[in-house]
Amino acid sequence: MEKRLYFDAVAELYESSRPGYPSLLIEDLLWLSRISPGAHILDVGCGTGKSTEPFARRGFQVCALDPGANMLALCKKKLQNHPNVTFENAAFETWPNGSDKFDLVISGTAFHWVTDAGYRQLLRVLRPQGAVGVFWHTFLRGHDPIHEKLDLVYRNQVPHLRVEGLDAAQEMKDRRREEQMLSWAGFAEWRVIRYYSSIGYSAKGYSDLVKTWPDHGGLSDAFFRSAGSLIEEAGGEIVMPVRTTLCFGRRSNL
């Protein structure tokens, strides 16, 4: 299975366990893009609609695009009362529509799955001076004792998934992703903004979250029992620190 289509098999878990995006990020993106009411927005990799919904509720004309039929079905169900949203079941790189149509292209925790041809598609679908906002969540390691115990579970049961110095590794991964975008030809006015939050998960919630990570697919029941027992013993909740990164750019005239 192509990795980016993994999520379609866990669409319900994705909807229930993945967080939405900070309201401040949405407001910052609207301020930076300077789009007007009724502007046209393309959401690349809309998934179950977590990135689409904030813009749909504000009345923008949104095209929600995703290659996963199950993900898109949940997005449609969530936004069925918003006639300002249309839906496209397609991969962005090969999507033939929308030339010079959009004032803003957004992508929430999805654009890293788009191939290298993706940024050239952005140039095709964006209007002159149109903007792009790519944003994503990064789960970090907490400092509570439960995180140290959970690290031992990884070390003992799934050592191939354990990352030494997780936060530093995540920081480098995010910076590489940022630098790649900032090098896109045909874009300028780049801004990178980071937002920090924490999310509490129950034992089941944590299990559901982990099952939406492609490299964690197919983990044994023993892993989830061990992780769940740790969370229950710690009071029934694990708090996950999250860094959300926004990369904003604008199509240049060059």
Residue 172 tokens read as: 């480098």
Work out the average pLDDT over 148-164: 94
Instruction: State if pTM tops 0.75.
Output: yes
Mean of per-residue pLDDT scores for the chain: 95
Superfamily, domain 3-137+167-196+241-251: Vaccinia Virus protein VP39 (3.40.50.150)
- Compute the half-sphere exposure of residue 114: CA atoms within 13 Å on the CB side of its CA: 29
Which pLDDT tens digit goes with each residue over 26-84?
A: 999 999 999 999 999 999 999 999 999 999 999 999 999 999 999 999 999 999 999 99
Which pLDDT tens digit goes with each residue over 74-119?
A: 999 999 999 999 999 999 999 999 999 999 999 999 999 998 878 8
pLDDT at 1: 44
How open is the CA angle 193-20-75, to the nearest 5 degrees? 125
Which pLDDT tens digit goes with each residue over 165-191?
A: 999 999 999 999 999 999 999 999 999
Distance, CA of 130 to CA of 111 (rounded, Å): 17
